[in-house]
Structure 1
Amino acid sequence: MPSILFEVKDQIAFITLNRPEKLNAFNREMALLFQQKLDECQHDKNVRCVYITGAGKSFCAGQDLSEVVETDGQEVNKMLREQYNPIVWKIRMMEKPVVGAINGVAAGAGANMALACDVVVATKSSYFTQAFSKIGLVPDSGGTFILPRFIGWQRASALMMLADKIPAEEAEKMGMLYKTFPDEIFVEESIKIAEKLSHMPTRSLALIKHALNFSVSNTFEQQLKIEDVFQQKAVETHDYKEGVKAFLEKRVPEYTGE
């Protein structure tokens, strides 16, 4: 079986990490294939939402340590540059909404990859852990950037140093994710979110995503200018015109993603 399962159905691209015997931990082949599938999603006009989950009872346990047990610092840095950094960058730059459907353990790079998604939902039995310090490493895959902005400096510092396991419901209360669902209805409810996003004005969602990306480093004045620029781009889309027309005609809009 391939390490990444991929299917496009009803304008949703389903990407499933598929090494369940390894808790979907990444090896190089899996990381590069994942990047390839993200690129396909970006360029396929038939894809209007991306849904990422894991096979079996785990989302992703991070890096498969058996692949790096004897590597030196240069090899680890190469791994970051060629595998993990491109993955989280592609997720954040994707001009379509990305749903992270966390169905079990999300550890290390797997946890930070999940946090990079636009809408993160999880089963109540899931948990998150910044496992890096347990083996003498530093959080990567954007974790030191994203996590403090979600939950604050002090909590992020503690979770990264102590490597605590945070149950999904606690993670939701902290602000790490959008919602949790009981395990038995998780797939149904998480796909409903992807379905809703896939029928919304895709260009608007992409501009919202980019505006949020800018907001983490902009001043208030700079962000007002970004909103001005992006709003003008949104006004020029087909879906804006359709949305206004449908509102005035008191009907449900039919968005095309253009």
Structure 2
Amino acid sequence: MPDQNTVLYSADGPVALIAFNRPDALNASNHALRTELSQAMDRAEMDPAIRVVVLTGEGRGFAAGADLTESFTARRGTINEHILKDHARLIDNIVQSDKAYVAALAGATAGVSMAYALACDMIIMAENAFLYSPFAAIGLVPDGGTTWMLVRAFGHQKAFEIVADFARVSAAECLHAGLANQVVPAEDLRRTALERARTIATRAAPLSIKYAKKLLRHAATAGRNEITRLEADFQFVCDLSEDSKEGVRAFLEKRKPVFRGR
């Protein structure tokens, strides 16, 4: 993997940390960042030892959205092609990954960067964190799947206010809405997110996380009967796994299980 500048990657046991690293630009997304983010995601995905990924930003905020100073020639095709090829693809990596993603948000999470954060499976926010949608101020609409996620988190009216009135959504509001899992002092954010990630990685069976994530994603739009059948299918797969047998043995033997993801 080439040396990284705009995205930092590190791993500690079963947890990987991916951090946007353009603090002077509030981690705004440019071509280099998107390229290195794709490489970091692929690195985590291909490493069987990694079970949870923490996604965060260096400096004062998570990320400020697209870098508006980047020339149009740096995009791949028209604006809609750019969104689908450069942003939606990376956001889908989070959604489709078999590994859990935990977002650690401080300061501003704005523009298309909201879609990256909201796509994660858990969100830990610093007390100074907020969501901000500036699209309408520059004659655009939210993208990357942001509107779909905002409506499901806040309902139509609040989502409209966020988009049309540029209303900042505080960490406290996100926690109240069930969007954030935990709010902590800014100085504790990264440590808390890594601790939560490690807890998931060491206590939950990887196959359970993989299939539970698929079920919860699908449950947002599927009916109860469809989900019930899908649960049964995934339960069949999990029940045959070595991890399920190990989990039962560990329970009966009153010890911690050792899961291997198979």
Task: Output the TM-score relative to the length of structure 1.
Answer: 0.94
Q: Does 1:231 align with 2:231?
A: no
Alpha-carbon deviations, 1:69-90, whole Å to 9, x = none? Answer: 7999953212202211011100
Please tell me whether residue 39 in structure 1 is matched to residue 38 in structure 2: no
CA offsets per residue over residues 10-47 of structure 1, 9 Å max, x none?
A: 12111010000000000012112212211221121011
1:185 positional shift: 1.8
1:157-168 alignment, distance < 5 Å: 157-168=160-171
CA distance in structure 1 between the aligned counterparts of 2:25 and 2:164, rounded to whole angstroms:
25
2:254 counterpart SS class: coil
Shift of 1:163: 1.7
Secondary structure at 1:180 match in 2: strand
Which residues in structure 2 correspond to 1:149-188 (within 5 Å)? Answer: 149-188=152-191
Which range is displaced more, 236-245 or 47-56? 236-245
Are residues 1:92 and 2:95 paired? yes
Structure 2's unaligned 5+ residue stretches are: none
Deviation at 1:68, TM superposition (A): 4.7
* Residues 98-154 of structure 1: CA deviation (Å, up to 9, x unaligned): 010112210011112100000111100111112211111111111111121122122
- For residues 182-238 of structure 1, the C-alpha deviation after alignment (integer angstroms, 9 at most, x for no partner) is 112222211110111121211110101101121122111111111111111111222
Per the alignment, in what secondary structure is the counterpart of residue 8 of structure 1? Answer: strand
Residue in 2 that maps onto 1:129: 132
How do 1:5-154 and structure 2 match up within 5 A?
5-68=8-71, 75-154=78-157
Match of 1:248 in 2: 252
Figure out how many residues of one structure are paired with residues of the other and give that number.
258
Output the amino acid matched with 2:43: E
Unaligned runs of 5+ in 1: none
Identity over aligned pairs, percent: 29
Is the 8 Å Cα contact of residues 31 and 75 (structure 2) preserved in structure 1?
no
1:221 and 2:225 matched:
yes
Cα 1:167–1:78 change in 2 (3 A) is same
Tell me, in whole angstroms, the C-alpha distance in 2 between the residues paired with 1:241 and 1:132. Answer: 50
Cα distance in structure 1, aligned partners of 2:76 and 2:247 = 52
- Does 2:255 match 1:257? no
Q: Is the 8 A contact 1:115 1:177 kept in 2?
A: no
Q: Which runs of 4+ in 1 moved over 6 A?
A: 69-73
The separation in 1 between residues aligned to 2:76 and 2:82, in whole angstroms, is 10
